[in-house]
A and B are shown apart, each in its own frame.
Chain A
Amino acid sequence: MGSVGLVTPQQMHFSEPLPLKSGAVLADYTLTYETYGTLNAERSNAVLVCHALNASHHVAGVHADGSVGWWDNLVGPGKPLDTDRFFVVGVNNPGSCFGSTGPMHVNPATGRIYGADFPVQTVEDWVDAQARLMQRLGIERLAAVAGGSLGGMQALAWTLRHPARVRHCIAVATTPNLSAQNIAFNEVARRAIITDPDFHGGHFYAHGVVPRRGLRVARMIGHITYLSDDAMDAKFGRQLRAAELGYSTQEIEFQIESYLRHQGDKFSEYFDANTYLLITRALDYFDPALAHGGDLARAFAVARHHGFLLVSFSTDWRFSPARSRELVKALVDNRIAVSYAEIDAPHGHDAFLLDDARYHAVMRAYFERIALEVSALRGHDTHPSPLPSPRGEGPAGRSLP
């Protein structure tokens, strides 16, 4: 299994305004994206990968500066999402701080930096922006859309907003909506940023400062919720930084404090405060059942012709398996093709980014099925698929590779 190697982000400009769910529009915007693999002649092997809160279009491979894609363990030649078979696209969503138009850019209407005036984004808005990019790339219908966490929400939203333009949805460690507890965590993070004196109501760019303290605390809070109690205990326990207690209320005593501060510091160096607010709000707003009287099954009635793979992780308390099961039920109620794997992994929500053998085996098997379908759709004039027959009568209870 290899890496897609050195990759360079690309950009696409859109002059036609993007209507947003809020009623506002995003005028004149640019999307940054990356692609891996080759689009086949029928343009039927494209897979869109949607990113979560602090990730970007940089899904796989390495940039010239050495940074590795956030899902590089899953996407690449010979990897579960095999770039020898699929044309994979990663898109940075509007409002982000990694290259696509965001709050740090100039608002064409005013000539000033957007800051807090950047229009509020929703998962559905992002999906619409991604759909426009697919159109430009000549992809009428995606073989699949995949994502974890907030990216999983986008994958789900694709099947609801553009059902005719995608065949399969792979949604990992995600949820049909945020619980009150989840919204509460987001709100604490937002308050930390907004109450930072350097925030200046979101127009801190003009003051030449960054609300670092707020960003640090926001990241610390977020980070706690991405890990499980067990994972944190295994990694840090009650380890002290120094040999003995310092009896200080303000200095670091425990290693976990040091780790969280380090994570917060790193994050505040590269992440935009307004982006953090926008993205956590998009998480809060996602609720496809809302327009259907709270009936999730009715929301998914339109996704009848898709195939779904849902994956959750046993120790993910932020987007728990119970929430994925709600999605499974909504799909089953509609008689929609769905497979669901509940992976017993100790890492909490972060597990979706990690290389768990059972998780990756299921992902690989599902993508292999899609590859077979893509080959079948190409008809008889192409080379035979190197994959085993889908209905081969293998031995019962085949074990994992």
Chain B
Amino acid sequence: MSERRDLETIAELVPAGSRVLDLGCGSGELLAHLRQHKDCSGYGIEIDDANVHACVQRGVDVIQLNLEEGLALFDDNSFDVVMQLDTLQHLRNTERMLKETARVGRIGIVSFPNFAHWPNRLRVLGGRMPVTKVLPYQWYDTPNIRVGTYADFEVLARKSGLAVTDSFGLQAGRVVRRWPNLLASVAVFRFEQR
């Protein structure tokens, strides 16, 4: 997700002038981009000390929080957009976080590694867990504790009462709208509360 083109593609999903909450904002690159190019405002949430420091250096407003503790700090619909990029798969309470995302933001945008991307399928067919650019970890040391697929998310979104307003895959910086569950290493969903 650190790839520049992916970042720009996802930034296009954010309406200009939005108030944005970026959960797991990393070094604040996306928020800085949205502020500069789309006149957005808002905050990043990070748990990591080095990332908090990087955000402050960049001039991105960052709040150091553990997302596992929920979003009690934020009122219902207090943001136009809540983003959760490359973060969902690290959280224990995925379903609750998704609901929290939809509660706090009018629009939710998530991205995560698509486990059903064809090289991963081949690797599993071969009897081993996939280790790829997007999923670079061994099964025993991966921080990705919730590994799901593009298709799985569609099911979870329906179950959580979310209306998906756009979705696509990302593969090597390109948008994949045809068979994304098979052809994309990253899944992107934009949704609203039904």
Contact = CB atoms under 8 A, between A and B. Distances in A.
B147 interface: no
B9 to A, nearest CB: 17
A309 B59 CA distance: 11
B56 interface: yes
A393 interface: yes
Q: How large is the interface on B (under 10, 10 to 19, 20 to 34, 35 or more residues)?
A: 20 to 34
A369 B43 CA distance: 16
Given A397-B51, A398-B57, A328 B63 contact: yes
A339 B62 contact: yes
A337 B57 contact: no
B49 A400 contact: yes
Interface in B126-167: none
Contacts of B57: 365, 368-369, 394, 398
A398 B49 contact: no
Contact of A391 (B26, B36, B43): B36
B50 A400 contact: yes
B32 interface: yes
Nearest to B74: A332
Contacts of B29: 393, 396
Contacts of B50: 397-400
A362 B52 contact: yes
Contact of B54 (A368, A390, A397): A397
Interface in A348-384: 358, 361-362, 365-366, 368-369
Contact of A358 (B49, B58, B61, B63): B49
A113 interface: no
Contacts of A392: 58
B190 interface: no
A21 interface: no
Nearest to B69: A325
B103 interface: no
A342 interface: yes
Residue among B54, B57, B58 with most chain A CB within 10 A: B57
Residue among B27, B32, B52, B65 with most chain A CB within 10 A: B52
Contacts of B78: 332-333
Nearest to B47: A342
Contact of B32 (A337, A344, A358, A391): A391
Interface string B41-81: 10100001111111111110111110000000111001000
Contacts of B51: 397
Given A329-B73, A333-B75, A396-B27, A390 B49 contact: no
Interface in A328-344: 328-329, 332-333, 335, 337-344
Given A340-B62, A340-B64, A400-B50, 14 more contacts: A335-B19, A335-B41, A338-B61, A338-B63, A339-B52, A344-B49, A358-B53, A362-B56, A365-B56, A369-B56, A391-B32, A396-B26, A396-B54, A397-B54
Interface of A: 309, 325, 328-329, 332-333, 335, 337-344, 358, 361-362, 365-366, 368-369, 390-400
What 5 pairs between A and B have smallest CB-CB spacing? A365-B56, A398-B54, A365-B57, A342-B64, A340-B63
